[in-house]
Structure 1
Amino acid sequence: MKIAFFSDIHANLPALQAVLDDIDQQKPDAVYCLGDLVGYNIWPDEVTEEIRKRHIPTLAGNYDEGIGLHSDDCGCAYKDDVEKANGAVSIAFTNQKVTEKTRTYLRSLPRHLSIEFKFADRNLELLMVHGSPRKINEYLFEDRPEKSLMRILEDSAADILLFGHTHKPFHRKLSNTLEEKEAERHAINIGSVGKPKDGDPRACYLIMEFDTRLETTDPEAIRVTFRRVEYDIEKAAVAVEKSELPNAYAKALREGK
């Protein structure tokens, strides 16, 4: 089985279109979106409509939730006063731009989605969230202590936890004793389609493949591939510069920061 997961489009339509084209070429059995469709660029309605017309199961991101509730707070953790001021411009711009159809859709999105697989003699629980199982806007970074990360997975009963929000992809395997065998749990940040922050400006999404004879003690049973997709970054950056949005967002797109 092959599944595609993507997240954090942030109103970047050229990036989304490129990723969806790449996903189509991969021919996955299913596709899921982990949220943050809007914010920071000029195409919130177009991005949302593209997701809707493809009937892609989608979570609410913290930005989606803010816009859905017509709030002036996206739940973002800005580092300084400049970022905070730019963020205020972005959410005000997005609130003014979106249609009520988009706002209603964003307000209806769930916070969590889970899939239960049954392979061989055991079940496998896959949980999708935007930030973390505890909070929609909690940041789970790659350097989080293993004990803390494992506790989050155990508390949510997840063998595989998929999330976004930080815009920095990673895959960590966590050892877990299961029936006297060393099994693995997986914590996976799927990166960002429309606003990468890991120094690579290309759009990012995840392909996950499961062996039909799945055993979590087998390291080859679950295969994870981060796909980086070229798109028209300049089109997205210039769109920001021609709008009321801060030019800092155009610079970030060009640099992947």
Structure 2
Amino acid sequence: MKIAVVSDIHGNVLALEAVLADLKSEAPDLVVNLGDCVSGPLWPEDTAAILRDTAWPTIRGNHDRIVLEDPIEKMGPTDAFAAERLSSESINWLKTAKPTIRLDGEIFLCHGTPDNDDRYLTEKVEGPKGHLPDEETLLAELKGEKSPIICCGHTHIPRVIRLQKTGQTLLNPGSVGLPSYEDDHPNKHKMEAGSPHARYAVMTKSERGWSFQEKILPYDWDAASKEAEKNGRLGWARALKHGFFGPLS
């Protein structure tokens, strides 16, 4: 059994196309999408159109929820850009995304934590950066979720974490379309993958158990950066070009 896990595409259709090309050679039995599909100053409708055709099981991310539920005038620029450009077909597709999904009783899919799409599971914000949480923090954030494998996104930082007390594995595939960002919640901080590549993960079950592979793919990130710059988002432009957040120098 081979499962590909994608997350946090954020409207970056060029990065998504690189993942799709790589998936042809990987030939997984299933692809799952952990959400935050379209929000960003890039190509929200083009991205949604591709995802509509894939029919991948899809989780609703926090930005997907905002695009669907908040008035445009109350959205930040990232979500408003997407909301103003999505077709009715894409909005209806996004409405089909689920808060969480269970696969065969063994795998649990969520965007943030099992009960909150806007909380980090595999990062703990201390100072200006995210850091690997300790096991007690991770167990507390799971809120009793017992699935052997828990797949989450939201942080944009790839992680594979095995909990000693429970034997559970937490997988975060990183972000397909946005390798770094800045946020004010719970306090001002940056998440930075450190390179501009598109990322996803592949998990494969054999007689010895599950193995995990991080996929790190080149694509035309200069074009993505220029698109963000054209749309007035210089922080995004540098993030897409370099994997670090900040204005273009």
* TM-score category, normalised to shorter length: 0.7 to 0.9
User: Which sections of structure 2, spanning at least 5 residues, go unmatched?
Assistant: 124-130, 181-192, 245-249
Letter of the structure 2 residue corresponding to residue 256 of structure 1: G
1:246 corresponds to which residue?
A: 233
1:232 corresponds to which residue?
A: 220
Q: Is the CA contact 1:68–1:104 (under 8 Å) kept in the aligned structure 2?
A: no
1:256 corresponds to which residue?
A: 243
Structure 1: how far apart are the matches of 2:81 and 2:37? 15
Structure 2: how far apart are the matches of 1:73 and 1:189? 32
Letter of the structure 2 residue corresponding to residue 145 of structure 1: D
* Alignment RMSD: 1.9
Secondary structure at the counterpart of residue 9 of structure 2: coil
Show CA shifts across 1:141-186 (max 9, x none). 1521201213444611221111000100111111236xxxxxx210
Matched-pair identity in %: 31
Which of residues 130, 152, 155 in structure 1 aligns to 2:144?
A: 155
1:12 corresponds to which residue?
A: 12
Which of residues 122, 130, 133 in structure 1 aligns to 2:114?
A: 133
Structure 1 residue 226: deviation in Å? 0.3
Letter of the structure 2 residue corresponding to residue 210 of structure 1: K
Letter of the structure 2 residue corresponding to residue 8 of structure 1: D
2:195 corresponds to which residue?
A: 200
1:28 corresponds to which residue?
A: 28
1:105 corresponds to which residue?
A: 93
1:189 and 2:172 are equivalent in the alignment: yes
Secondary structure at the counterpart of residue 48 of structure 1: helix
1:114 and 2:109 are equivalent in the alignment: no
Structure 2: how far apart are the matches of 1:61 and 1:153? 17
Structure 1 residue 223: deviation in Å? 0.4
1:40 and 2:29 are equivalent in the alignment: no
Q: Is the CA contact 1:67–1:106 (under 8 Å) kept in the aligned structure 2?
A: no
User: Which sections of structure 1, spanning at least 5 residues, go unmatched?
Assistant: 75-86, 118-124, 178-183, 214-219
Structure 1 residue 104: deviation in Å? 2.2
The TM-score normalised by the length of structure 1 is 0.82
1:80 corresponds to which residue?
A: none
How many residues are matched? 224
Q: Is the CA contact 2:10–2:44 (under 8 Å) kept in the aligned structure 1?
A: yes
Relative to structure 1, is the Cα distance of residues 28 and 73 closer, same or farther in structure 2, using a 3 angstrom cutoff?
farther
The TM-score normalised by the length of structure 2 is 0.84
- Greater radius of gyration (CA): 1
Secondary structure at the counterpart of residue 175 of structure 1: coil
Structure 1 residue 191: deviation in Å? 0.3
1:172 corresponds to which residue?
A: 161
Structure 2: how far apart are the matches of 1:164 and 1:65? 15
Structure 2: how far apart are the matches of 1:11 and 1:154? 31
Letter of the structure 1 residue corresponding to residue 95 of structure 2: R
Structure 1: how far apart are the matches of 2:174 and 2:24? 19
Which of residues 72, 83, 87 in structure 2 aligns to 1:95?
A: 83
Secondary structure at the counterpart of residue 76 of structure 2: helix
Q: Is the CA contact 2:18–2:219 (under 8 Å) kept in the aligned structure 1?
A: yes
Structure 2: how far apart are the matches of 1:133 and 1:88? 25
Structure 2: how far apart are the matches of 1:192 and 1:206? 10
Q: Is the CA contact 1:66–1:73 (under 8 Å) kept in the aligned structure 2?
A: no
